[in-house]
Amino acid sequence: METVKHFINVLAYPYWSFSLTILLFGLMLWSKKLWTKKGGLILLTVGVLFFIVALFDPNFHQIVAKPDNVPIVMMVFLVGFFVWFAMSKATRNDAQIAAGAPTFESTEVEDRIFTWPDLVFSEFICMVVLTVVMVVWSIALRAPLEEAANPALAPNPSKAPWYFLGLQEMLVYFDPWLAGVLLPGLIILGLMAIPFIDTNPKGNGYYTFRERSTEITLFLFGWLVLWSQMIVIGTFLRGPNWNFFGPFEFWDTNKVEALVNVDLSEYLWVKLLGVGMPHSILLRELPGILLIGFYFFGLPVLLRRTKWFRPYYEKMGPARYYVGVTLFLFMMLLPIKMYCRWLFNLKYFIHVQEYFLNI
């Protein structure tokens, strides 16, 4: 049993768990016809059973059973259930559309009910049940309230609310102005721009995957692989001193991880060329400037010539294409920076500490 726990602890480390998540995400899309049936519910049930068995481990129980972490545990399984639910309906509709049959939603017209009293009555019953659940919850679990804030005694680890833990995890890889301002702002602007960038009328009012496979894949990748996993890592796997701990590992406050962070300019001038860092900021950071410039300005031009991106350029036009690709590249900058940090201890592509401009 200890060998299994150790193996899971190793797999849970970010560079393994993130790679495994990407692999499982691709496998999930490739085999959606299998798990969108009863196989998905079986996998979810196995996950619940594993979670129940894991609760007998004291280290695991201490973290997941914290009153403020219990809702996150529920959220993880609810996200899995609703992804299965939506994808099962989408797979069913795709099969019916391919066979020339109507979609599942169009056959529900005869089953429509009135808002009053049917819908309102159902909502009232749900409200009563939810009230009972919240009352029982408040009695069974102690409210995660702490003493008044003391500037001389900070919690270790000091964490943001769960909905900001994704941003807090991003601070490991980006400066605050990027992780806390620019990237969240681009997420909001990107979600607002989706209806103007993606004008595909298919999929409105009914579940489908085949007719909007690229859009749904990008959304699920950003939501499940990036954002949701960031919240899980920040909630359950980041312990004292913001060090990483496996799910069955004791949160030792004395744990120290030696990290040697190196900038791209240092890799080029010191490690590769064997010379000192140039005094000129522009010359010193020229490799990073050229790399970031190519990433955001040259790569979209090259991508539009590939067989995967050319149809989108022809369909969307230059303006919508470049806006969409730029938002996509900003999203992919996060996993790229994460892997560079894990594999090469690379901290910044551009490090202008004189003006706090770090990328």
| Separation of CA 138 from chain center | 30
Per-10-residue mean pLDDT, the chain, length 359: 83 87 89 81 85 88 86 88 89 86 73 78 93 90 78 81 86 86 85 80 82 87 88 88 87 78 86 83 88 92 88 86 90 90 87 82
HSE (CB half, 13 Å, CA atoms) of 141? 17
Q: Tell me how many degrees the CA angle 308-339-231 measures, rounded to the nearest 5.
A: 95
What is the spatial distance between Cα 70 and Cα 64, in angstroms, rounded to a whole number? Answer: 6
Computed on alpha carbons and rounded to an integer, the radius of gyration of the chain in Å comes to: 24
| CA 298/CA 312 separation, integer angstroms | 17
Task: Report the residue count for the chain.
Answer: 359
Q: In this predicted structure, what is the pLDDT of residue 356?
A: 78
In one-letter notation, the amino acid at residue 211 is: E
Number of helical (H) and strand (E) elements in the chain, helices listed first: 17, 2
What contacts 352, CB < 8 A, 6 or more positions away? 281, 285, 358
Prediction pTM value: 0.86
pLDDT for the residue 272: 84
- What is the pLDDT, as a whole number, of residue 110? 61
DSSP class of residue 269 equals I
Best CA proximity match to 263, nearest among 322, 175, 327: 175
Predicted pLDDT of residue 295: 93
Rounded (5°) CA angle 264-266-269: 110
- What tokens appear for 305 in the block? 């010539």
Strands (E), the chain: 351-352, 357-358
Looking at residue 109, its pLDDT comes to 60
